[in-house]
Amino acid sequence: MDNFTGTRAVSASHAFDNEALGTWLTANMSGFAGPLSVEQFKGGQSNPTYKLVTPGRSYVMRSKPGPQAKLLPSAHAIEREYKVMNALALSGVPVARMHVLWDQALPASSNDERAAIYDEMNRVIATLHSVDVKAVGLADFGKPGNYFARQIGRWTKQYQASVLEPIPEMDQVIDWLPTHLPA
């Protein structure tokens, strides 16, 4: 039972920059004051859950698994958890207080700021696509050719692993796509 109670050091697969988190929390969470130390709750969760400790108090932080995790759409929806618990807090239902949600949609940014961010993202992507992979020593990196066939195969396996009831239209798409690959 001890494997599932208490906290431990943050696992290497879930590690993140504690200092950057502390800086972000100071800027975005009313009353937050570091320094910050982080522990990870043991076992039993599909979303990593952490104990954030400051000199003044402790907090619980939930996060989605890292980018290496293969997430299905709507799985690990911590935004949904936040919204429901935040709404229930006003109803008399005993739920933990929600302090802050990091939303990647940039809602606090102006249209001009978001445009600048996306312009820069597109500039970087364009630069990335102009890299001569042979010149930088990556000619033998990855699997050459058949990208679309591999991707469609991966999507098919993910869909088949998660299907709850047959969807004939999906079966038709799965049959059609491999014979209609883009050039």
Residue 53 located in a structural domain: no
Q: What is the pLDDT of residue 74?
A: 59
The range of the structural domain enclosing residue 170 comes to 147-179
Domain check: are 113 and 134 in the same one?
yes
- pLDDT class for 85, splitting at 50, 70, 90? confident
Residue 30 located in a structural domain: no
Residue 4 located in a structural domain: no
Domain total in the chain: 2
Residue 17 located in a structural domain: no
Q: What is the pLDDT of residue 170?
A: 93
Domain check: are 151 and 174 in the same one?
yes
Task: Say if residues 64 and 71 touch (Cβ distance below 8 Å).
Answer: yes
Residue 175 located in a structural domain: yes
pLDDT higher than 70, residue 66: no
Q: What is the mean pLDDT of residues 105-118?
A: 77
pTM of this prediction?
0.54
Q: How many CA atoms lie within 13 A of 5 on its CB side?
A: 2
Q: What is the mean pLDDT of residues 161-183?
A: 90
